[in-house]
Amino acid sequence: MERRGGARLSLALALALAVEAAAAAPPAAAPAALERAYTAAMEGRKADALAAAQELAGPYAVLARFGLWDELIALGPPDPRSPPLTAGYLYGRGLALASRGRLDEARRALEALGQLAAAHPELTDCIAVATPIVTARIAASERHDEAAVAALTQAVAAQDRLTGPAPDGWFFPVRDLLGAQLLIAGRPAEAERVYREDLARNPESGWALYGLAAAERAQGRRRAAARTLGEFAHAWRHADLRLEASAFWFAGPDTTRCECQRQPSAQR
């Protein structure tokens, strides 16, 4: 699977993890754990991804990938001397609070994220991805579908600008979120284009293949959807995660308490 800048944790956050971990582990330990978490997450191996996240100083992106909102909310703030980790914390917290429908608190986290960006210009690029994602989640929880699409489109563009050598970029493709939101908004043809763009960057991504099949099915192309689901089954052969959408992204707030209660986003 191709690993371009658009599918990794931001460089600022990754560097912070490495610096923090280096005090108690060999210098290569944190980047190696980040790589394991990334690979496992892309393959749907939730248990392995979370195990690798235990070795990171800031597991925010991994928890967000799997929709572990309560776990994110329960985390205390990191060392304030590490602005990159603070950025990751505020992003994860804002996303989780908005997903749970605690919108006033989510807006406060979003405001703090903006203040952090103003105080630390070196974080501008990664916060330019984080901020519209949280903004979109607030809009989606309020069922403002078009506003959520617009914010996620902005986040995708910001993620695409995060290029460079590993571990530059974001931890997972924002297109997975945008495609899910487009399906919620009843725009499957646009969702299909987004998923195909995602697959061009991340071949064999089970997340994108699952979303693509949903987009094809929503357009009445059941044979194409069946073929895509066959590709998904192969990509997901080592997974321990049951998908209901291309991301843990929902129409309205996520009020479930376990994965077994969740229903496909586009049908809620």
> Residue 127's Cα: distance from chain center in Å?
14
Question: pTM here?
Answer: 0.88
Residues of the chain with pLDDT under 50: 1-9, 11-12, 14-27, 165-168, 265-268
3-state secondary structure of 267: helix
Cα–Cα distance between 172 and 40 in angstroms, integer?
11
**Amino acid identity at 170:** W
Cα–Cα distance between 33 and 40 in angstroms, integer?
10
For all residues of the chain together, what is the average pLDDT? 86
Which of 68, 10, 108 is closest to 248 using CA atoms?
Answer: 68
Tokens read off for 124: 């501008």
What is the structure's pLDDT at 253?
Answer: 96
Cα–Cα distance between 191 and 175 in angstroms, integer?
9
> What does the chain come to in residues?
268
DSSP string for residues in 16-73:
HHHHHHHTTS-TTHHHHHHHHHHHHHHTT-HHHHHHHHTTSS--HHHHHHTT-HHHHH
Question: Residue 233 contacts by C-beta under 8 Å, 6 or more apart in sequence?
Answer: none
Taking a C-beta distance cutoff of 8 angstroms, is the pair 92, 63 a contact? yes
3-state secondary structure of 243: coil
Is-cis flag, bond preceding 167, omega within 30? yes
Q: What string of H, E and C letters represents the secondary structure of 74-106?
A: HCCCCCCCCHHHHHHHHHHHHHHHHHCCCHHHH
What is the structure's pLDDT at 94?
Answer: 98
What is the structure's pLDDT at 257?
Answer: 74
Exposed (0-12), middle (13-18) or buried (19+): which is 119, by Cβ within 10 Å?
A: exposed
Which of 255, 249, 215, 210 is closest to 229 using CA atoms?
Answer: 210
Which of 179, 174, 175, 251 is closest to 215 using CA atoms?
Answer: 179
- CA torsion sign for 8, 12, 166, 58 is negative
Cα–Cα distance between 182 and 74 in angstroms, integer?
30
Q: Where are the domains of the chain?
A: 11-172, 173-268
DSSP state of 165: S
What is the structure's pLDDT at 162?
Answer: 86
- 173-268: CATH topology: 1.25.40
What is the structure's pLDDT at 10?
Answer: 52
